[in-house]
Amino acid sequence: MSEILFEKTCMVRDKIYSSLGNVEPDVIAHIINPAFMGGPAWPALRQAFSIIHRDNSTVVISNGLSDPFDDVEEPNTGFGIEIYAETKENIEGNISDSSLFKLVYATSQQAAHSGQIADFLRKYNVITMELHADDCGLHEYQNKNGMIGIILGVESPEIPKHCNFPGGEVVLASVQILTHEELEYVAEARAEGRNNLHEKLKASGAYHFISPRRESLIKHQNAQTVIANHVGNSAPPKSDKAKSWWKFW
C-alpha cells in the first residue's frame, strides 16, 4: 500500500467528516483488534469509529473501511464504504455503550466480512439485512425470532451518499432499524418491498434517523396482502454462505 495514498485518504475522509459537524478528536477503537480474535479484517487492519455532533443529532460512523488495502499497490478505496447511523435522541452515558454504536459496529463488521456491500448498494440502491440480537447486543429491537432487521443506504437529506476519495468512489451508507412489520414485509416482498419501504422512509421524513419510537410504515394488514401476492413467485435464495449472525437479501 502506498503511504501517500493512505495519508491522502485519511485527509479527505477527515475533511468530509468535519464538514458534517463537530468531530470528537478521539475515535472509538478496541485495545485488541477484533481481527486478531476471529473477526473480519479491515483493509489496512485498523478499525475505528468516529463520533460527529451535528446541530440536532449525533452520528456514529466507521473510520477505516475505505482505507486502501495494505497489500494492493494500485489506487483503491478498500471496501469502498463507510457505515453510519444517526439519531436525534439524547444518548445517555458513553456512546461506545449505546445502541447507536452497537448498530454501526455490527453492520461494519458485516461489511468487512462481505466485502461487497458497496457494490450491492451501487446496484440496488438499498439493501435489507437481518442481524442476530444476541451477537450485536440490540435486544430492545429484536423480534420473536431474536432477529433485528435493518435497511442500508437510505438517502440522508444532508449527508452525501457518494464521495470521491483519492482511490475512487466511496459510499457513505446509512443504517436504519426496521420495525417487526417492516422486516416481515421486506423479507417476503424482496426488491419490491425494500424499494417501497425506502420511498416511504423518505416521504414520511423518517429517513435514516434512528428512534425507538418510530412508528411502522408498513401496517400488518398491508404487509400480509403484499406477502400473499408474492407466494409462488420466484425469488433469489438466501445466501448459504452467510455466517450465523447475519443474512441479507
pLDDT for the residue 244: 35
Q: How far is CA 230 from the centre of its chain?
A: 27
**The model's pTM:** 0.89
Share of the chain above pLDDT 70, in %: 88
Q: Write the DSSP symbol of residue 196.
A: H
pLDDT at 137: 83
Task: Please state, in angstroms and rounded to a whole number, the distance separating the CA atoms of residues 61 and 52.
Answer: 8
Query: What is the pLDDT of the chain when averaged over all its residues?
Result: 89
How far is residue 19 CA from its own chain's centroid? Answer: 20
* pLDDT score recorded for residue 235: 40
Alpha carbon distance 7, 106 (integer Å): 26
Tell me: pLDDT of 226 over 70. Answer: no
Q: Which stretches within 86-162 are classed as H helix? A: 99-114, 117-124, 133-136
Q: What is the mean pLDDT of residues 58-82?
A: 96
SS3 173: strand
For residue 171, pLDDT beyond 50: yes
pLDDT tens string 83-98: 999 999 999 999 999 9
Convert the pLDDT of each residue in 3-37 to its tens digit.
999 999 999 999 999 999 999 999 999 999 899 89
> Is 112 in contact with 79 (CB distance < 8 Å)?
yes
3 state DSSP class of 193: helix
| Residue matched to cell numbers 451508507 | 173
Query: In this predicted structure, what is the pLDDT of residue 220?
Result: 66
Task: State the Cα–Cα distance between residues 207 and 15, nearest whole angstrom.
Answer: 24
pLDDT in tens, 105-140: 999 999 999 999 999 999 999 999 999 888 788 888
Residue 245 pLDDT class (50, 70, 90 cuts): very low
d(CA 8, CA 167): 9
pLDDT tens figures, 196-212: 999 999 999 999 999 99
Q: Where are the domains of the chain?
A: 3-248
| Residues whose CB falls within 8 Å of the CB of residue 114, separated by 6 or more in sequence, listed in order | none
User: What is d(CA 206, CA 136) in angstroms, rounded to the nearest whole number?
Assistant: 24
What is d(CA 230, CA 5) in angstroms, rounded to the nearest whole number? 48
Which residue(s) pair with 132 in the sheet? 147
pLDDT band at 1 (very low <50, low <70, confident <90, very high): low
Cα–Cα distance measured from residue 35 to residue 30, given in angstroms and rounded to the nearest whole number: 10
Residue 238 is predicted with a pLDDT of 43
What would the mean pLDDT of 157-186 be, rounded to a whole number? 97
- Residues facing 86 on adjacent strands: 59, 209
